[in-house]
Amino acid sequence: MKKQEILQQCKQKNVRFVHLQFCDLLGIVKSVTIPIDKLEEAIDHNVWFDGSSIEGFTRIFESDMYLQLDLSTFALIPWESDDEEATARVICDVFLPNGKPFEGDPRQILRRQVERAKKLGFEYNVGPELEFFLFPTDETGKAYPVPHDSAGYFDYSSDRGVGIRRLMSDSVTKMGVEVESIHHEVAPGQHEICFKYNSAIAQADQVVTVKTALRAIAKDHGLHAAFMPKPIAGVNGSGMHVHQSFSKDGKNAFYDAKSKYNGLSLTALQFIAGQLHHLPEIVSITNPTVNSYKRLVPGYEAPVYIAWGQTNRSALIRIPRLTAGRTEGTRCELRCPDSSSNPYLAFAVMLAAGLNGIEGKYAIPEPIDENIFEFTDKKARRMRIRTVPGSLHEAVAKSEKSALVREVLGEHSFEKFIEAKKSEADSYRLYVTQWELDQYLDNY
């Protein structure tokens, strides 16, 4: 939309306030709210703010930054609007006083890798699947991890989330997200929303939009939408599987009718090889919390084995089987990421790993089309199948040594991210859990 179209729509809908949103390094949404009479000035002259207290942004003596509005992200916020007045949202890019994009802006970090792909003629498309739990809240609004229903995968009669999922779907659709499906997942109280693939930056914007919307709708109904990877022990955790493909000259660059690998082109195979090779280095970004590694354990359908397979859901990278003639749907699905990740950073390192595979002409190993979940450790070693890092501490150690991660994040953000994640891992290592008290207090 152009400026005048946005101003006209704001007048028609009686918009009173506009939230100018951006993300910090850890993916937490930040916002500066302006009254509607300041919107035109904000569009023309940007909005200054103090970045010194934002995670991963500037130091106190270099705090001045400004937000540049991306008008393509303008949307009315359904849960803050009614027939009489409305509130809108615009996602912004972060700039330094000298007019240069701030290298630590997560959107800018992803944009650098998108531009790298464009130089090779590729547009990177992603389609995430967000899993989440709905939990009840007490009178103060605090959530407690007890499933709000007892339903299972695709259940209907015992699924208490049908109505609220419909409201969630309606809300994000009004904000420009094309929902493809929303349904109950495997664990009690667990759900999934899938939306149509899009270019990487637009899709990262939509991930942020969807998470914000789902939390708001849930809160309005006395529930909490939790994107925590493993909130309940003993049941499946929540991931963010990401379907990926390249388009080139209007065609799917991952498709080759002559390929012996389910229609995968050489470009696709090298892309997959790059992700398999670099995966241990980037997991601290695709799975960035201590709790992420409670999900990435064998036995709960979590993809912990670094391998690829054609239709094999036990492999880290899966190639969905296609209906004959649907060449545009050729893609690979990376199954380890979760929704606690910053989507801009996650897509950036995933793309960089794949591009390294293409530029370096990495050789892909043979696909594994057996159930890897049933492999013994001995068999996995014999087949040279590695596993993802087993903890945030281990994952950060691998990222700290990674030239790829350092290059993608940039020196400033790399140091800030590693520092923050080391601190988080160390804090957890020092914490005495209830499990330890139950196991050891009386016996030792």
Active-site annotation holder among 93, 105, 129, 205? 129
Amino acid identity of residue 234, one-letter, is G
Q: Which residue has the tokens 């004959």?
A: 324
How far apart, in whole angstroms, are the C-alpha atoms of residue 161 and residue 173? 18
Candidates 268, 223, 277, 226; CA nearest to 386 is 277
Active-site annotation holder among 5, 41, 50, 64? 50
Answer yes or no: 406 catalytic. Answer: no
DSSP string, 321-354: ---TT-GGG--EEE----TTS-HHHHHHHHHHHH
How far apart, in whole angstroms, are the C-alpha atoms of residue 24 and residue 54? 6
Total Cβ atoms within 10 A of residue 212: 20
First to last CA, the chain: 67
> Helix, strand or coil for residue 377?
helix
Answer yes or no: 123 catalytic. Answer: no
Virtual torsion, Cα 13, 17, 22, 27, nearest 10 deg: -90
How far apart, in whole angstroms, are the C-alpha atoms of residue 236 and residue 299? 9
Answer yes or no: 50 catalytic. Answer: yes
Answer yes or no: 313 catalytic. Answer: yes
Residues 6+ apart with CB under 8 A from 280: 306, 386, 388, 389, 395, 398
Active-site annotation holder among 24, 105, 131, 205? 131
How far apart, in whole angstroms, are the C-alpha atoms of residue 81 and residue 35? 15
Answer yes or no: 185 catalytic. Answer: yes
Active-site annotation holder among 93, 105, 192, 205? 192
Q: Which residue has the tokens 């082109």?
A: 265
Candidates 130, 163, 132; CA nearest to 145 is 132
Q: Are 93 and 70 in contact (CB under 8 A)?
A: yes
Answer yes or no: 131 catalytic. Answer: yes
Answer yes or no: 407 catalytic. Answer: no
Active-site annotation holder among 335, 338, 393, 406? 335
Answer yes or no: 328 catalytic. Answer: no
Answer yes or no: 191 catalytic. Answer: no
Total Cβ atoms within 10 A of residue 406: 18
Q: Are 174 and 80 in contact (CB under 8 A)?
A: no
Active-site annotation holder among 215, 241, 243, 278? 241
Active-site annotation holder among 24, 93, 333, 338? 333
Which sequence positions are flagged as catalytic?
50, 129, 131, 185, 192, 241, 313, 333, 335
